Chains A and B, each alone.
Chain A
Amino acid sequence: DIQLTQSPSSVSASVGDKVTINCRPSQGMNRNLAWYQQKPGRAPKLLIYDASSLQSGVPSRFSGSGSGTDFSLTISSLQPEDFATYFCQQADSFPLSFGGGTKVEIK
């Protein structure tokens, strides 16, 4: 089974900052990785799939990269609506799994 380790677990940032979140699988995998955003009391929202493809309707300030055992999500210029928790998810093999989450908080 593939375990996903996200870092950091939380980050404090200001509007306009660049934020990068990392996701490391326990074993090398193909680029079958997604990123989700979740706000309190709401369902997750798909942002990125196939490691770097932007889901329709998602702002271009979100980008994904990586392969193998090192993936990342970058928000190029943090906006007020981006304060949320972010999860990575692997779709490379069953059982599917999620990272532990990264909370992006207002500095």
Chain B
Amino acid sequence: EVQLVESGGGLVQPGGSLRLSCVVSGFSFSDHYMDWVRQVPGKGLEWVGRIRTKANSYTTEYGASVKGRFTISRDDSKNSLYLQMNSLKIEDTAVYYCGRDRRASAAYMDVWGEGTTVTVSS
């Protein structure tokens, strides 16, 4: 069964840091680009960023609101995706989802985790 499981969410103060993880199973993780998407409860979806595969030098893309503060990485040996979040702001409060890109040529997410909640508050 294809599965993505996020973890690492929690309560953090403004200006703090948090690292989210996404462990995958049931497919060849190293062959897929991966994304992070977030959602304020009751609101819309916001794309956070994307990481490509080793064959594409693990290059990354980020949304404007997180660029320079968030870093996406992966460890193919551990079937794991990461989101390092620094300089957190109240507006980063959201449910964070990891998603698998359906194919490299177009970033559609065909498998999603159930999300982990990040709350930024003093």
In the complex, what's the smallest C-beta–C-beta distance from A54 to chain B, in angstroms? 12
Instruction: Return B88 CB to nearest CB of chain A, in Å.
Output: 20
Partner-contacting stretch, out of B12-20, B23-31, B102-110: B102-110
Q: Which residues of A contact B82 (CB under 8 A)?
A: none
Given A1-B64, A46-B110, A49-B108: A98 and B47 within 8 A (CB)? Answer: yes
A101 B109 Cβ-Cβ under 8 A: no
Determine if B108 and A91 form an interchain contact, defined as CB atoms under 8 angstroms apart: yes
Say if the beta carbon of B70 comes within 8 Å of chain A. no
Query: On chain B, which size bracket covers the interface?
Result: 20 to 34
With CB as the reference atom, state the residue of chain A lying closest to B103: A49
B109 touches A46 (CB 8 A): yes
Which of A43, A49, A94, A96 is close to B97, meaning CB atoms less than 8 Å apart? Answer: A43
- Are B44 and A43 in contact, CB atoms less than 8 angstroms apart? no
Cβ of B64: which chain A residues have Cβ within 8 Å of it? 1, 95
For the complex, give the distance between the alpha carbons of A81 and B113 in Å: 21
CA distance A87 to B109 in the complex (A): 12
Q: Which residue of B lies closest to A94 (CB)?
A: B61
Query: Which residues on the B side are within 8 Å of A96 (C-beta)?
Result: 35, 47, 50, 63, 107
Kindly report which residue of chain A lies nearest to residue B35, judged by CB atoms.
A96
CA distance A1 to B97 in the complex (A): 22
Q: Which residue of A lies closest to B114 (CB)?
A: A43
A49 with B62: CB separation less than 8 A: no
- B44 & A44 in contact (Cβ 8 Å cutoff): no
Query: What's the nearest-Cβ distance from chain A to residue B67, in Å?
Result: 9
Q: What are 15 contact pairs spanning A and B, CB under 8 A?
A: A32-B106, A42-B114, A44-B97, A45-B112, A46-B102, A46-B109, A49-B106, A94-B61, A95-B61, A96-B47, A96-B50, A96-B107, A98-B45, A100-B44, A101-B44
A-B pairs, 5 with minimum CB distance: A43-B112, A96-B47, A98-B45, A91-B107, A34-B108
